[in-house]
Amino acid sequence: MIESAGPVRNIERVIRGVATSDGAGVALTRIIGQPALPDLDPFLLLDEFRSDKATDYIAGFPDHPHRGFETVTYMLAGRMRHRDNKGNSGLLTAGSVQWMTAGRGIVHSEMPEQEDGLMWGFQLWVNLPRKDKMTDPGYQDIAPERIPDVVSGGVHVRVLAGQYGGATGPVQAPDTDPTYLDVDLAAGATFETALPSEQNAFAYVYDGKLTIGDDRPGQRTIVRGELAVLSHGERVAARAGEGGVQFILVAGRPLREPVARYGPIVMNTQAELEIAFDDIRSGRF
Protein backbone atom coordinates (compact mmCIF):
# COMPACT_ATOMS: atom_id res chain seq x y z
CA MET A 1 0.00 0.00 0.00
CA ILE A 2 1.80 3.14 -1.22
CA GLU A 3 0.93 6.29 0.73
CA SER A 4 3.73 8.62 -0.44
CA ALA A 5 6.02 8.98 -3.43
CA GLY A 6 8.71 10.92 -1.55
CA PRO A 7 12.26 9.88 -0.60
CA VAL A 8 12.59 6.43 0.94
CA ARG A 9 14.10 5.95 4.39
CA ASN A 10 17.08 3.60 4.50
CA ILE A 11 18.83 1.92 7.41
CA GLU A 12 21.39 4.12 9.17
CA ARG A 13 22.37 1.69 11.93
CA VAL A 14 21.52 -1.82 13.06
CA ILE A 15 21.33 -2.52 16.80
CA ARG A 16 21.06 -5.89 18.51
CA GLY A 17 19.41 -6.07 21.89
CA VAL A 18 21.27 -7.16 24.99
CA ALA A 19 20.02 -9.65 27.56
CA THR A 20 19.29 -8.15 30.95
CA SER A 21 16.75 -8.30 33.77
CA ASP A 22 14.56 -5.71 35.48
CA GLY A 23 11.88 -5.50 38.12
CA ALA A 24 12.17 -8.45 40.48
CA GLY A 25 14.29 -10.41 38.02
CA VAL A 26 12.22 -10.46 34.82
CA ALA A 27 14.39 -11.64 31.91
CA LEU A 28 14.20 -9.32 28.91
CA THR A 29 16.08 -7.95 25.92
CA ARG A 30 16.95 -4.24 26.01
CA ILE A 31 17.18 -2.68 22.56
CA ILE A 32 16.94 1.08 23.21
CA GLY A 33 18.42 2.27 26.50
CA GLN A 34 21.67 0.29 26.24
CA PRO A 35 25.21 1.51 25.45
CA ALA A 36 24.88 0.97 21.68
CA LEU A 37 21.68 3.06 21.53
CA PRO A 38 21.04 5.08 24.72
CA ASP A 39 18.00 6.79 23.17
CA LEU A 40 16.41 7.86 19.91
CA ASP A 41 14.61 11.13 20.67
CA PRO A 42 11.82 11.00 21.85
CA PHE A 43 12.23 7.28 22.65
CA LEU A 44 14.17 6.46 25.80
CA LEU A 45 13.87 2.68 26.09
CA LEU A 46 12.58 -0.37 24.25
CA ASP A 47 12.44 -3.76 25.98
CA GLU A 48 11.16 -7.04 24.61
CA PHE A 49 10.09 -9.67 27.14
CA ARG A 50 9.55 -13.13 25.71
CA SER A 51 9.62 -16.41 27.59
CA ASP A 52 7.50 -19.48 28.24
CA LYS A 53 9.50 -20.22 31.41
CA ALA A 54 7.65 -18.92 34.44
CA THR A 55 10.91 -18.37 36.33
CA ASP A 56 11.80 -15.68 33.75
CA TYR A 57 8.75 -13.52 34.50
CA ILE A 58 6.73 -14.71 37.50
CA ALA A 59 8.26 -12.21 39.97
CA GLY A 60 7.05 -9.34 37.75
CA PHE A 61 7.59 -5.65 38.39
CA PRO A 62 6.57 -4.80 41.98
CA ASP A 63 5.84 -1.21 43.06
CA HIS A 64 8.21 1.29 41.46
CA PRO A 65 8.03 5.05 40.72
CA HIS A 66 8.03 6.97 37.43
CA ARG A 67 8.16 10.68 36.62
CA GLY A 68 8.59 12.75 33.47
CA PHE A 69 7.79 10.34 30.63
CA GLU A 70 5.29 7.84 29.24
CA THR A 71 5.39 4.04 29.23
CA VAL A 72 3.80 2.03 26.43
CA THR A 73 3.16 -1.67 27.08
CA TYR A 74 2.06 -3.81 24.12
CA MET A 75 1.21 -7.43 24.81
CA LEU A 76 1.57 -10.15 22.18
CA ALA A 77 0.87 -13.04 24.55
CA GLY A 78 0.12 -13.48 28.23
CA ARG A 79 -1.66 -11.57 30.99
CA MET A 80 -0.23 -8.73 33.10
CA ARG A 81 -2.05 -6.84 35.89
CA HIS A 82 -1.36 -3.13 36.41
CA ARG A 83 -2.03 -1.41 39.75
CA ASP A 84 -0.94 1.99 41.05
CA ASN A 85 -1.09 4.27 44.07
CA LYS A 86 -3.87 6.35 42.47
CA GLY A 87 -6.34 3.48 42.79
CA ASN A 88 -6.19 2.38 39.16
CA SER A 89 -6.09 -1.25 38.07
CA GLY A 90 -6.21 -2.91 34.66
CA LEU A 91 -5.48 -6.21 32.97
CA LEU A 92 -3.25 -6.32 29.90
CA THR A 93 -4.04 -9.30 27.66
CA ALA A 94 -2.77 -10.48 24.28
CA GLY A 95 -3.18 -7.70 21.71
CA SER A 96 -3.86 -4.93 24.22
CA VAL A 97 -1.95 -1.68 24.83
CA GLN A 98 -1.50 0.56 27.82
CA TRP A 99 -0.12 4.05 27.22
CA MET A 100 0.62 5.45 30.69
CA THR A 101 1.57 9.09 31.24
CA ALA A 102 3.57 9.17 34.47
CA GLY A 103 3.64 12.97 34.55
CA ARG A 104 4.56 14.41 37.93
CA GLY A 105 4.77 11.00 39.55
CA ILE A 106 3.18 7.64 40.07
CA VAL A 107 4.04 4.39 41.85
CA HIS A 108 2.77 1.30 40.07
CA SER A 109 3.28 -2.42 39.64
CA GLU A 110 2.99 -4.78 36.69
CA MET A 111 2.52 -8.37 37.78
CA PRO A 112 1.81 -11.54 35.74
CA GLU A 113 -1.63 -13.10 36.06
CA GLN A 114 -0.43 -16.50 34.90
CA GLU A 115 1.84 -19.16 36.33
CA ASP A 116 2.87 -20.81 33.08
CA GLY A 117 2.73 -20.29 29.33
CA LEU A 118 4.19 -17.65 27.03
CA MET A 119 4.60 -14.05 28.23
CA TRP A 120 5.58 -11.83 25.30
CA GLY A 121 5.45 -8.14 24.58
CA PHE A 122 7.22 -4.80 24.47
CA GLN A 123 7.64 -1.81 26.72
CA LEU A 124 8.55 1.50 25.12
CA TRP A 125 9.40 4.70 27.02
CA VAL A 126 8.47 7.98 25.35
CA ASN A 127 9.84 11.24 26.72
CA LEU A 128 7.58 14.12 27.73
CA PRO A 129 8.46 17.74 26.92
CA ARG A 130 9.50 20.05 29.75
CA LYS A 131 6.06 21.69 29.82
CA ASP A 132 4.31 18.36 30.52
CA LYS A 133 6.72 16.58 32.85
CA MET A 134 4.71 17.61 35.92
CA THR A 135 1.27 17.03 34.42
CA ASP A 136 -1.33 14.83 36.09
CA PRO A 137 -0.78 11.07 35.55
CA GLY A 138 -3.09 9.46 33.03
CA TYR A 139 -3.86 6.24 31.16
CA GLN A 140 -5.01 5.04 27.81
CA ASP A 141 -6.02 1.40 28.36
CA ILE A 142 -6.81 -0.03 24.94
CA ALA A 143 -8.44 -3.43 24.47
CA PRO A 144 -7.47 -5.53 21.42
CA GLU A 145 -10.79 -4.92 19.64
CA ARG A 146 -10.17 -1.15 19.66
CA ILE A 147 -7.01 -1.47 17.56
CA PRO A 148 -7.74 -1.24 13.81
CA ASP A 149 -6.55 -4.04 11.52
CA VAL A 150 -5.71 -3.24 7.90
CA VAL A 151 -5.38 -6.33 5.71
CA SER A 152 -4.44 -6.27 2.03
CA GLY A 153 -3.07 -9.34 0.28
CA GLY A 154 -0.10 -10.56 2.29
CA VAL A 155 0.03 -7.46 4.48
CA HIS A 156 -1.61 -7.29 7.92
CA VAL A 157 -1.08 -4.11 9.97
CA ARG A 158 -2.37 -3.34 13.47
CA VAL A 159 -2.50 0.45 13.91
CA LEU A 160 -1.77 1.25 17.56
CA ALA A 161 -0.92 4.91 16.93
CA GLY A 162 -0.75 7.11 13.85
CA GLN A 163 -2.31 6.35 10.47
CA TYR A 164 -2.09 3.57 7.92
CA GLY A 165 -4.37 2.51 5.08
CA GLY A 166 -7.13 4.92 6.07
CA ALA A 167 -7.17 3.71 9.69
CA THR A 168 -6.17 5.81 12.71
CA GLY A 169 -4.78 4.24 15.86
CA PRO A 170 -6.56 4.84 19.19
CA VAL A 171 -3.51 6.22 21.04
CA GLN A 172 -3.33 10.00 21.28
CA ALA A 173 -0.06 11.73 22.22
CA PRO A 174 0.03 15.16 20.56
CA ASP A 175 3.46 16.26 21.79
CA THR A 176 5.32 13.48 19.96
CA ASP A 177 2.64 12.57 17.35
CA PRO A 178 3.70 8.92 17.37
CA THR A 179 3.23 6.17 14.84
CA TYR A 180 3.22 2.61 16.22
CA LEU A 181 2.43 -0.16 13.74
CA ASP A 182 2.59 -3.93 14.26
CA VAL A 183 3.23 -5.36 10.80
CA ASP A 184 2.88 -8.98 9.66
CA LEU A 185 4.02 -9.72 6.09
CA ALA A 186 3.63 -12.97 4.22
CA ALA A 187 6.68 -14.40 2.43
CA GLY A 188 7.90 -11.95 -0.21
CA ALA A 189 5.18 -9.38 0.52
CA THR A 190 6.01 -5.67 0.29
CA PHE A 191 5.01 -2.87 2.64
CA GLU A 192 5.06 0.91 2.24
CA THR A 193 3.85 3.74 4.41
CA ALA A 194 4.35 7.47 4.72
CA LEU A 195 5.99 9.01 7.79
CA PRO A 196 6.53 12.70 8.61
CA SER A 197 10.01 13.51 7.34
CA GLU A 198 11.13 15.27 10.52
CA GLN A 199 10.35 12.32 12.79
CA ASN A 200 12.84 9.79 14.11
CA ALA A 201 11.88 6.20 13.32
CA PHE A 202 12.93 2.61 13.87
CA ALA A 203 11.86 -0.89 12.87
CA TYR A 204 12.35 -3.90 15.15
CA VAL A 205 11.97 -7.44 13.81
CA TYR A 206 10.51 -9.92 16.29
CA ASP A 207 10.16 -12.81 13.86
CA GLY A 208 11.61 -13.49 10.41
CA LYS A 209 13.70 -11.36 8.06
CA LEU A 210 13.02 -7.88 6.62
CA THR A 211 14.67 -5.86 3.85
CA ILE A 212 14.32 -2.08 4.16
CA GLY A 213 15.08 0.67 1.65
CA ASP A 214 14.98 1.19 -2.08
CA ASP A 215 17.01 -0.56 -4.78
CA ARG A 216 20.10 1.55 -4.23
CA PRO A 217 23.11 0.30 -2.24
CA GLY A 218 21.44 1.62 0.94
CA GLN A 219 19.04 -1.32 0.99
CA ARG A 220 19.77 -3.68 3.88
CA THR A 221 18.24 -6.68 5.63
CA ILE A 222 17.61 -7.17 9.35
CA VAL A 223 16.59 -10.34 11.17
CA ARG A 224 14.88 -11.41 14.39
CA GLY A 225 16.22 -9.42 17.36
CA GLU A 226 17.63 -6.52 15.31
CA LEU A 227 16.51 -2.90 15.34
CA ALA A 228 17.06 -0.63 12.32
CA VAL A 229 17.47 3.09 12.99
CA LEU A 230 16.02 4.68 9.86
CA SER A 231 17.30 7.68 7.95
CA HIS A 232 15.02 10.66 7.43
CA GLY A 233 12.68 10.59 4.47
CA GLU A 234 9.00 10.61 3.60
CA ARG A 235 8.22 6.89 3.40
CA VAL A 236 9.28 3.45 4.51
CA ALA A 237 9.53 0.67 1.92
CA ALA A 238 10.15 -2.90 3.07
CA ARG A 239 9.93 -6.50 1.88
CA ALA A 240 9.55 -9.75 3.78
CA GLY A 241 12.01 -12.61 3.49
CA GLU A 242 11.12 -16.12 2.34
CA GLY A 243 9.54 -17.10 5.64
CA GLY A 244 7.56 -13.91 6.16
CA VAL A 245 8.25 -11.35 8.87
CA GLN A 246 6.71 -9.64 11.88
CA PHE A 247 8.02 -6.29 13.05
CA ILE A 248 7.04 -3.09 14.81
CA LEU A 249 7.52 0.27 13.08
CA VAL A 250 7.68 3.23 15.47
CA ALA A 251 8.19 6.93 14.77
CA GLY A 252 7.81 10.15 16.74
CA ARG A 253 8.52 13.86 16.69
CA PRO A 254 11.82 14.61 18.47
CA LEU A 255 11.63 16.98 21.45
CA ARG A 256 15.20 18.30 21.13
CA GLU A 257 15.41 19.09 24.85
CA PRO A 258 18.13 18.20 27.37
CA VAL A 259 17.60 14.86 29.08
CA ALA A 260 18.58 14.09 32.67
CA ARG A 261 17.64 10.53 33.64
CA TYR A 262 18.33 8.11 36.41
CA GLY A 263 16.46 4.83 36.60
CA PRO A 264 12.72 5.47 36.43
CA ILE A 265 12.94 9.28 36.49
CA VAL A 266 13.49 11.41 33.35
CA MET A 267 13.75 15.18 33.68
CA ASN A 268 15.66 18.01 31.98
CA THR A 269 18.25 18.88 34.64
CA GLN A 270 20.18 17.23 37.45
CA ALA A 271 18.52 19.56 39.95
CA GLU A 272 15.09 18.29 38.83
CA LEU A 273 16.27 14.71 39.33
CA GLU A 274 17.33 15.51 42.89
CA ILE A 275 13.92 17.06 43.60
CA ALA A 276 12.20 13.95 42.20
CA PHE A 277 14.14 11.55 44.41
CA ASP A 278 13.56 13.76 47.43
CA ASP A 279 9.82 13.60 46.64
CA ILE A 280 10.05 9.79 46.46
CA ARG A 281 11.81 9.59 49.83
CA SER A 282 9.24 11.94 51.35
CA GLY A 283 6.26 9.98 50.01
CA ARG A 284 5.04 12.79 47.75
CA PHE A 285 4.49 10.50 44.74
State the average pLDDT over residues 129-138. Answer: 95
State the average pLDDT over residues 208-233. Answer: 91
Question: pLDDT digits over 256-275, tens only?
Answer: 999 999 999 999 999 999 99
State the average pLDDT over residues 59-71. Answer: 94
- Calpha distance 174→252 (Å, rounded): 10
State the average pLDDT over residues 225-246. Answer: 97
Residue 3 confidence (pLDDT) above 80: no
Residue 218 confidence (pLDDT) above 90: no
| Torsion from C-alpha of 151, 213, 207, 95, nearest 10 degrees | -40
pLDDT at 216: 66
Please report the domains of the chain, with CATH numbers, ordered by start residue.
11-281 (2.60.120.10)
pLDDT at 101: 93
**pLDDT category of residue 4 using cuts at 50, 70 and 90:** low
Higher pLDDT, 115 or 78: 78
pLDDT at 217: 67
**pLDDT category of residue 143 using cuts at 50, 70 and 90:** very high
Contacts of 53 (CB under 8 A, 6+ apart): none
**pLDDT category of residue 31 using cuts at 50, 70 and 90:** very high
Average pLDDT, the chain: 94
Question: pLDDT digits over 158-204, tens only?
Answer: 999 999 999 999 998 999 999 999 999 999 999 999 999 999 999 99
Residue 13 confidence (pLDDT) above 60: yes
